[in-house]
Amino acid sequence: MEGSSKSTLRGGREGRSRSYGGHAMISYQWADQKLVLKIKESLRQKGYRIWMDVDHMEGSTLQTMAEAVQNASVVLVCMSERYKLSQNCRSEAEYAFSLEKKIVPLLMQRAYKPDGWLGMIKGTKLFFDFSGKYPFDQKLTDLVKELGEHGKTQQLTDEIDVGYDVMVTIV
């Protein structure tokens, strides 16, 4: 968990800076990397913690991918025909599905209609079309609304009356 941790007067507990349920993981096929990097940077600028393989791959690929899914509060599945054909992409998406993670589908290929295992994962979920059919900024705004606080970094701040005419602020 990223962020600082500060001990303070609070009945023996600590105040912490933490993220809301983990990061947003982007699961994509490398052919879409240029657009995915643009999405990643745009979300980071809006305060989201983004996990993407280009930043975090080390050691065992399968272990790193599994931990990324396990620690995610949301998984962005970047759908395309190449994504569907990739065994690594399938593993990430199916693992997220099996862990009942929030999955947000992003359409990367114009007019692509997911079927088979990818169609099942997409199901009836709302998806966001980043294929170029619509303006990028419009789709990004829609995506941010859907993500809400999932993957967003927040400071927890509490004020507590400790009964000694002293107010303690925990940051």
Give, for 141, the enclosing helix (H) or strand (E): helix 136-147
Task: Show the CA angle centred on residue 31, arms to residues 81 and 140, nearest 5°.
Answer: 85
Give, for 73, the enclosing helix (H) or strand (E): strand 72-79
67-95 pLDDT tens trace: 999 999 999 999 999 999 999 999 999 99
Higher pLDDT residue, 156 or 139? 139
pTM exceeds 0.85 for this model: no
Tell me the pLDDT of the chain averaged across its residues.
81
Q: Domain 21-151 maps to which CATH number in 3.40.50.150, 3.30.930.10, 3.40.50.10140, 3.40.50.1000? A: 3.40.50.10140
pLDDT of residue 1: 29
Parse the chain into domains and list their residue ranges: 1-18+154-171, 21-151
Tell whether the model's pLDDT for residue 24 goes beyond 80: yes
